[in-house]
Amino acid sequence: MKVVVVGNGMVSYKFCEKLLTRRLPDLSITVFGEEQYPAYDRVHLSELFNGKSTDDLCLAPVSWYKDNRIDLHLGDPVQYITPSVKLLQTFKGYVKHYDVLVLATGSSAFVPKINGMEKDGVFLYRTIEDLHLIKSYASRAQKGTVIGGGLLGLEAAKALLDLGISETHIIEFAPRLMPRQLDETGSAMLQSTLSSLGLTIHTQKNTAHILGGESVTGLAFTDGSTLDTDILIVSAGIRPRGELAADCGLETGMNGGIVVNEHMQTSDPFIYAIGECALYNEMTYGLIAPGYEMAEVAAGEIQHLHTGATTSSKLFTGFDMSTKLKLVGTDVASFGDPFAEGDNIRNIVLKDTNKGVYKRINVSADGKYLLGGILVGDASHYNILLQTSRNRILLPPHPEDIILPAREAKKEEGGGLAALPGDALICSCESVTKAAICQSVTEQGCETVDAIKKCTKAGTGCGGCLPMVKDLMVYTMKQQGKYIRNILCEHFDYSRQELFDLIKLHELKTYDTVLDRLGKGDGCELCKPAISSILSSLWNEMILQKGNDTAQDSNDRFLANIQRGGTYSVVPRIPGGEITPEKLIAIGNIAQKYSLYTKITGGQRIDMFGAHVSDLPLIWSELIAAGFESGHAYGKALRTVKSCVGSTWCRFGLHDSVSFAIRVEERYRGLRAPHKIKSAVSGCIRECAEAQSKDFGIIATEKGWNLYVCGNGGSKPQHALLLAADLDSETCLRYIDRFLMFYIRTADPLTRTATWLNKMEGGINYLRNVVVNDSLGMAAQWEQDMQQLVNAYQCEWKTAIETPEIRKRFAHFVNAPEEKDPTVTFETLRGQKKAGNWK
Amino acid sequence: MVHENETLVKTPQWITACRAEDVAENGGVCVKLGDQQIAIFYFTRRNEWYATQNECPHKKQMALSRGMIGTRNNVPKVACPFHKKTFSLLTGECLNGDECNIKTYPVKVEDGIVYIGVDDPPEEQFS
Ligand code: SRM
Ligand SMILES: Cc1cc2nc3c(=O)[nH]c(=O)nc-3n(C[C@H](O)[C@H](O)[C@H](O)COP(=O)(O)OP(=O)(O)OC[C@H]3O[C@@H](n4cnc5c(N)ncnc54)[C@H](O)[C@@H]3O)c2cc1C
Ligand code: SF4
Ligand code: FES
């Protein structure tokens, strides 16, 4: 039997996979795809702007099709079908006979009839190709606009922000955002949160035409107003791609969708349609879960046809449209019947404009069942609410409890998971039940989310269920008496946070006493740096004293970064990047004297490379005499606070960003943390100091400073999120004190703030609550702790050169301290030296 | 305290390396013996002395004496500061499964002086 599939999108791939697992003999599968890429994860398309590559999104490589004997044709759309003789023809002229045809042509972005759509700089948001085009054009754009304030439009707007277009507008025809998912109050709450993130939202705007010559320059609206823009994304909805079906006489609906019955059969019994192109019961489904369900139904039907079985197979009976949106800095979800209202229905609403939270649930008149609801600003209960409504689980006597912010003491063990029946569908994309997930833990020994994903496929579709999968895993493991903790290494049975609290409680000051009191054995290169960092974060004593020197990571032990060949680099602190000519000259003289390679670093300071270990104290004596101090480039500590020139010179500057950067750098210099911490201060929203890529970044506003936290450069760049706006300098520092102390206390070893936040339940909203609203009641304590650390600061290089026992360690040969390591070699490059190559 | 390396069969010749008080507690130092470099470790917690070649075989860096010492399953080891490859201080075996073992030497301490046992002592001696 010859099965031919038109389209190679997500649902087509899932269909092939499901058909293969049925292992039908004498079945050939051919797939025609219009796009150049084999099926990829469209749901996570936007992650192309967050460091993912097209390979990362690929669902299965071309070799997978080959290995499974699927004949795959990419870049070759099917052009017409002749159902009477079961033939089709492709763009490249290929003619193919089928026994069964499956249409999985998806949908395309809906393009409203507006003049000027053909201009350069106008894009759709649907395919990898679209995103590549947007990315290359966006580098030229300063202002961006998205037409469409629905699910996809908001995602596209976030993408523009991610691409660095900070002035981004959203145009919505309806009076509010996400009209299909949210009620009026929910939309209003979302709108105010998005505005505070820097998006400008225009509702009830009807675009008349697109302005510009060759390229877009703006939009004109029917009310006569206009808006300038350099780039435009049109995301005004989707249209099922039923044109191929319509051309060959299959029945299609109003919106172009291909009419199917509960077997996924079209009006021709040998042709099926699945995914976004299918119209079932006058509904098309723009989500992945129902598409996968249709793939399952169609695969079952074909098995039936093939084996001639007479029993009935699984039918498609519709799907609910519950969704959770992955937005910037805020959560949005709707589930079940979000709008249910009337005499038989009770609505419970929680609205907190202070935190930007709106929750609404619709409950049956007898108060027993949850019918649906809306969550804005805090969707942490989404999965459990969805399960409660889907499985018709009896509500507690006070249904409002389920949306109230969890009060620690009251939190029910397992967060209501116990009440879910075994057949509750946790992953609707892959149809994985609660029982299957629990079994993978108890029977197959899966103890990480990744293992469960591999074992059951749960969470491999849209990924929305992953938090719940993790909760289930933890819950099941706890029931088995297993307790999961991130212990440090074989010498300590504690997590970093537990050790931090214990060391503080017992006032331990050296690595050895910590090991004696709290650990076992003789330590190793994992626990030594971690404990040393905790000791330093707690007491801020000179790290090389009290026998703690050999418990330091090797760079900290020599207060410098080891380089190829075994020499070291020297980085004096240059707060805010500001330096006097005298100091520049001093650095030049010293570098010349000790023959060091010099380079301006990416952190706005000067690095001198190639110092022999025995020269380090001499170099530092001279640097200190010239007014420098350690830059801690070697430590998991505060690195640099970069600054832009700011209001003292810049014509746009709102405040003196250099002065504030210096103040911040001098406050936190020497502060050790689970990983390095970086900061920056910009004088206005043009953001020349790149503050939004830092662990904490500060940007001047008309009214004060905006404080952003948890950004990261490195291999997985992540923008910082707004923690608080328009702060005066003192408040800004107080919030940073609290933020840093919270991070230092709770992060795992070697975890940057971005990763720490990503793992934090409740995310930025929770963090904001802790830092700004003092929800843990720790703020005063943390500010006091920080002040003690600030007071205890000393330049560790100064102490090192003044303390003979420490200074004597800076020698290569213990029995010939004056001699340098003769195996060190250098080469010359552009008139300076460089390290000899690895051998 | 004497630690004898069991893999060495020949009786070594003891050479003066350095003063015991010059070796960092729970850490290492590098001793120059002619044109050889030997790392000496004083594992104070266990009251044990060890000596190995100073060169890390991974990228041929003279760095093991600056590495962190510790144990794995009670086997004493040193981690190279460059890429944290670890070696057993007892046998010199690389504990990361790589085929690059290091040479170890017997050590003894008498009257505050550290001696290393070598097969072929260098011409001149340092103290
Ligand atoms: C010297 C410098 C490069 C330069 O010539 O400009 C540099 C050099 C090193 N960086 Fe960097 N980074 C330098 C700026 C940066 C920046 C830019 C910035 O700070 O604005 C970043 C991205 C921002 C960020 O950290 O989020 C950066 C992200 C990294 C990372 C990735 C961190 C991450 O979270 O993914 C590492 C690896 C790590 O820390 O694990 C790293 C690690 C390193 C190490 C320490 C690698 C190592 O362990 O040997 C390099 C030390 C070289 C040496 O021997 O001294 N360096 N590094 C820069 C020193 C700045 C300074 O004045 O202190
Ligand atoms: C940016 C974005 C974010 C999204 N986020 C979510 C989300 O969070 N949650 C969620 O559930 N859903 C989300 N979706 C929707 C989800 O991606 C779709 O529901 C899903 O991709 C539909 O799969 P499909 O196979 O039916 O269609 P598609 O994935 O569109 O695949 C159809 C394929 O068929 C090809 N084709 C069309 N006509 C022909 C022809 N004649 N010949 C050959 N090939 C043809 C097309 O080129 C396309 O490659 C998102 C979509 C986008 C664009
Ligand atoms: S960030 Fe603003 S104030 Fe600072 S230099 Fe750039 S433009 Fe000037
Ligand atoms: S040089 Fe020692 S581990 Fe690489």
By most ligand atoms within 8 Å of CB, the mutation choice from A533, A607, A665, A756 for ligand 1 is A607
Report phi then psi at B48, rounded to 5: -130, 145
Best B66, B88, B95, B96 member to test A by mutation, with max A CBs in 10 Å, is: B66
Has residue A56 got a pLDDT over 60?
A: yes
Report d(CA A437, CA A435) in Å as an integer: 5
Q: Give kind and range of the element (H or E) at residue A28.
A: strand A28-32
Q: Is the dihedral of CA A52, A54, A60, A61 positive or negative?
A: negative
Has residue B84 got a pLDDT over 50?
A: yes
The pLDDT of residue B125 is 47
For residues B76-109, one letter each, b for 16 or more C-beta atoms within 10 angstroms of the residue's C-beta and e for the rest, the string is bbbbbbbeebbbbbbebbbbeeeeeebebbbbbb
How many angstroms is it from A240 CA to the middle of ligand 2?
Answer: 10
The pLDDT of residue A354 is 82
**pLDDT tier at A326, thresholds 50, 70, 90:** low
CATH code for the domain defined by B13-118: 2.102.10.10
Q: Which two tokens stand for residue A583?
A: 């100091």
Report d(CA A680, CA A603) in Å as an integer: 10
The pLDDT of residue A224 is 93
**Residues A473-481: what's their mean pLDDT?**
82
The pLDDT of residue B18 is 94
SS3 A6: strand
Q: Which two tokens stand for residue A142?
A: 């300063």
Report phi then psi at B118, rounded to 5: -125, 155
Report the chain A residue with the minimal C-alpha distance to residue B32: A813
Closest CA to B70 of A491, A836, A759, A457: A491
Best A525, A561, A563 member to test B by mutation, with max B CBs in 10 Å, is: A525
The pLDDT of residue B122 is 62
The verdict on the CB of residue A152 being under 6 Å from ligand 2 is yes
Report d(CA A446, CA A780) in Å as an integer: 42
Has residue A518 got a pLDDT over 60?
A: yes
Q: Which residue has the higher pLDDT, A409 or A564?
A: A564
How many angstroms is it from A752 CA to the middle of ligand 1?
Answer: 13
Helices (H), A645-778: 657-668, 729-746, 753-759, 763-771
What pLDDT, in 10s, does the model give residues A418-436? 778 888 888 888 889 999 9
SS3 A2: strand
Best B19, B68, B107, B113 member to test A by mutation, with max A CBs in 10 Å, is: B68
The pLDDT of residue A468 is 84
Report the chain A residue with the minimal C-alpha distance to residue B33: A815
Helices (H), A560-716: 581-593, 616-625, 657-668
The pLDDT of residue B7 is 47
Average pLDDT, chain A: 91
Has residue A52 got a pLDDT over 80?
A: yes
What pLDDT, in 10s, does the model give residues B10-64? 567 899 999 999 999 999 999 999 889 999 999 999 999 999 999 999 889 999 9
CB of A459 within 8 A of CB of A437? Answer: no
The verdict on the CB of residue A752 being under 6 Å from ligand 1 is yes
**Residues B113-121: what's their mean pLDDT?**
86
Report d(CA A580, CA A586) in Å as an integer: 10
Has residue A411 got a pLDDT over 50?
A: no
Q: Measured between alpha carbons, how far apart are the two ends of chain B, in Å? A: 20
SS3 A279: strand
Distance from the A634 Cα atom to the nearest Cα atom in chain B, whole angstroms? 13
Task: Give, using CA atoms, the residue closest to atom 3 of ligand 4.
Answer: B83
Residues in chain B: 127
The pLDDT of residue A311 is 66
Of B66, B86, B127, nearest to A554 by CB-CB distance is B66
Strand partners, B48: B43
The pLDDT of residue A461 is 78
Q: Which residue has the higher pLDDT, B84 or B104?
A: B104
Of A521, A550, A555, nearest to B27 by CB-CB distance is A550
Residues in chain A: 839
Closest CA to A730 of A705, A696, A699: A705
| Choice among A192-201, A261-270, A804-813 with the minimum mean pLDDT | A192-201
The pLDDT of residue B127 is 38
> By percentage, how much of chain A surpasses pLDDT 70?
97
Task: Give, using CA atoms, the residue closest to atom 38 of ligand 1.
Answer: A714
How many angstroms from the chain centroid is the CA of residue B126? Answer: 17
Q: Measured between alpha carbons, how far apart are the two ends of chain A, in Å? A: 61
Report d(CA B34, CA A293) in Å as an integer: 76
Q: Which residue has the higher pLDDT, A620 or A326?
A: A620
**Residues A540-559: what's their mean pLDDT?**
94
- A655 DSSP assignment: S
Return the axis-axis angle of helices A466-479 and A449-456, rounded to nearest 10°. Answer: 100
Domain boundaries, chain B: 13-118
The pLDDT of residue A408 is 39
Amino acid at A317: T
Task: Concatenate the DSSP letters of all residues of A361-381 into one string.
Answer: EEEETTS--EEEEEEES--TT
Has residue A146 got a pLDDT over 70?
A: yes
The pLDDT of residue B99 is 66
Using only C-alpha atoms, chain B has a radius of gyration, in whole angstroms, of 13
**Residues A42-51: what's their mean pLDDT?**
88
Report the chain B residue with the minimal C-alpha distance to residue A819: B32
The pLDDT of residue B123 is 56
Has residue A477 got a pLDDT over 70?
A: yes
8 Å CB contact of A554 and B73: no
Report d(CA A105, CA A102) in Å as an integer: 9
The pLDDT of residue A720 is 96
Using only C-alpha atoms, chain A has a radius of gyration, in whole angstroms, of 31
Q: Where are the beta strands (DSSP E) in A152-270?
A: 167-171, 199-202, 207-212, 216-221, 226-228, 231-234, 238-240, 258-260
The pLDDT of residue A329 is 64
The pLDDT of residue B11 is 67
What distances in angstroms separate CA A368 from CA A119, A365, A375, A392, B11, one per listed residue? 55, 8, 20, 9, 87
Has residue A690 got a pLDDT over 80?
A: yes
Return the axis-axis angle of helices A729-746 and A657-668, rounded to nearest 10°. Answer: 40
Has residue B2 got a pLDDT over 70?
A: no
Q: For chain A, say whether B24 makes contact (Cβ under 8 Å).
A: yes
Question: What is the residue whose two structure tokens read 């979302």?
Answer: A190
**pLDDT tier at A415, thresholds 50, 70, 90:** low
Has residue A511 got a pLDDT over 80?
A: yes
What distances in angstroms separate CA A348 from CA A359, A361, A685, A756, one per listed residue? 8, 5, 40, 34
How many angstroms is it from A129 CA to the middle of ligand 1?
Answer: 33
Has residue B126 got a pLDDT over 70?
A: no
A508 Cβ contact partners less than 8 Å away, ≥ 6 residues apart:
A502, A514, A517, A518, A535
Q: What does pTM read for this prediction?
A: 0.55
For residues A97-107, one letter each, b for 16 or more C-beta atoms within 10 angstroms of the residue's C-beta and e for the rest, the string is ebebbbbbbbb
Report phi then psi at A90, rounded to 5: -100, 170
Angle at A764 between CA A763 and CA A767, to 5 degrees: 95
How many angstroms is it from B79 CA to the middle of ligand 4?
Answer: 9
Report d(CA A656, CA A643) in Å as an integer: 10
